[in-house]
């Protein structure tokens, strides 16, 4: 019996990187995973790989910045499955630039996807969770929503916003038995970071790993286990909390 057996779990940005491994692990642990992304080909590939392993998954195109996408997808899932037990707000982008070189368009795009996307997703899913009297919302922030780093002011501002949005919604919706927690990955080897981690330049890799005391980047699945915990009933007393998965980066 899987740890999230029978749960209906929607993951944003499920086509690639950590979103994909979250979907694969949650499905392997018994959930029906609603894989969503703007990238339809890779999103469908996530579903195909889950089904090939005997899991349950469906793909829906969803741009997290489009309110109409959210209402249409949520309505369809509720009509088909009756409920949504878990939402994983994972989709996000990173723009690495000094502040004075960051354009208004880049600032707005980062906030639209990383923050407004989480707001829209939470707002869209709440009525179904309130009706069910249960739910778990998992917001993917970053260690850069907790501590500072060079070249990422816009990104860090969004991840700090997600961290406190998580606590605000945890406070407001605990009365409906809806738990909201954030996950704060450190340096993870995904398409987002591949150019930096696989640049072949030891100095760049060392700079990116920063104070990660385990001395390496994580594989995406190492973060998926934290998401699995928050999605499962094993985390029934965790609410408004921050799960840091960073190989010790923020410990020193
Ligand atoms: N990789 C890291 O080291 C790291 C560290 C800390 C936090 N994070 C966060 O973890 C999350 C996942 O990161 P990743 O490294 O797997 O990223 P990634 O770039 O590898 O994958 C991101 C996925 O999000 C999708 N996406 C982007 N914009 C979207 C939109 N508007 N609507 C729907 N989908 C969209 C992409 O198509 C892609 O499938 C992000 O929120 C990121 O900020 C990553």
Grade residue 192 by pLDDT with cuts at 50, 70 and 90: very high
Query: Which pLDDT score, from 0 to 100, does residue 13 have?
Result: 98
Q: State the pLDDT at residue 173.
A: 98
**What would the mean pLDDT of 10-26 be, rounded to a whole number?**
98
Looking at residue 244, its pLDDT comes to 98
Asked if 179 and 170 count as a contact pair (C-beta separation under 8 A), the reply is: yes
Residues of the chain above pLDDT 70, percent: 100
**Dihedral (C-alpha) 113, 189, 233, 73: value to the nearest 10 degrees?**
30
Q: Is 39 in the pocket of ligand 1 (CB under 6 A)?
A: yes
252: number of Cβ within 10 Å: 8
Contact (CB, 8 A) for 89 and 12: yes
Query: What's the alpha-carbon Rg for the chain, to the nearest Å?
Result: 17
Does the active-site annotation cover 249?
no
Q: Which CATH number applies to 8-251: 2.40.33.10, 3.90.190.20, 3.40.50.720, 3.30.70.1290?
A: 3.40.50.720
Sequential DSSP letters for 100-120: GG--HHHHHHHHIIIIIHHHH
Residue 1's pLDDT is: 83
When pLDDT is averaged across residues 4-19 and rounded to a whole number, the result is 98
Which of 153, 216, 224 has its CA nearest to residue 189? 216
pTM higher than 0.85: yes
Residue 195 burial class via C-beta count within 10 angstroms: exposed 0-12, middle 13-18, buried 19 and up: exposed
Q: Which of 14, 19, 68, 159 gets mutated to test ligand 1 (max ligand atoms within 8 A of its CB)? A: 19
pLDDT in tens, 84-130: 999 999 999 999 999 999 999 999 999 999 999 999 999 999 999 99
**Is the minimum distance from the CB of 193 to ligand 1 under 6 angstroms?**
yes
DSSP annotation string for 43-92: HHHHHHHHHHTT-EEEEEE--TT-HHHHHHHHHHHHHHHS---EEEE---
The finding on whether 113 has its CB within 6 A of some atom of ligand 1 is yes
Out of 60, 144, 155, 249, which one is annotated catalytic?
A: 155
Ligand 1 center to 215 CA (angstroms): 23
Q: Specify the DSSP class assigned to residue 31.
A: P
Residue 182 confidence (pLDDT) = 99
Domain residue spans of the chain? 8-251
């Amino acid at each position: 019996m899987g740890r999230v057996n029978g749960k209906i779990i929607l993951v944003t940005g499920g086509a690639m990187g950590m979103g994909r491994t979250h979907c694969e692990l949650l499905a392997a642990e018994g959930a029906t995973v609603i894989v969503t992304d703007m990238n339809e080909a890779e999103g469908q590939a996530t579903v195909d790989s889950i089904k090939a392993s005997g899991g349950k998954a469906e793909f829906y195109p969803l741009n997290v910045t489009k309110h109409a996408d959210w209402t249409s997808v949520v309505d369809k899932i509720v009509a088909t499955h009756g409920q949504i037990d878990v939402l994983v707000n994972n989709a996000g982008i990173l723009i690495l630039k000094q502040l004075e070189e960051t354009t208004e368009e880049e600032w707005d795009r980062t906030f639209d996807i990383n923050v407004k996307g989480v707001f829209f997703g939470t707002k869209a899913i709440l009525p179904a969770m309130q009706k069910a009297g249960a739910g778990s919302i998992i917001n993917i922030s970053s260690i850069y929503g907790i501590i500072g780093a060079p070249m990422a002011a816009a990104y860090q501002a969004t991840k700090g916003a997600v961290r406190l949005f998580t606590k605000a919604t945890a406070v407001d919706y605990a009365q409906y038995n809806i738990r909201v927690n954030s996950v704060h990955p450190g340096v993870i080897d995904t398409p987002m970071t591949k150019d930096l981690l696989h640049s072949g330049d030891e100095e760049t890799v060392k700079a990116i790993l920063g104070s990660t005391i385990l001395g390496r980047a994580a594989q995406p699945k190492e973060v998926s286990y934290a998401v699995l915990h928050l999605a499962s009933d094993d985390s029934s007393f965790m609410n408004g909390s921050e799960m840091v998965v960073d190989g010790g980066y923020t410990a020193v």
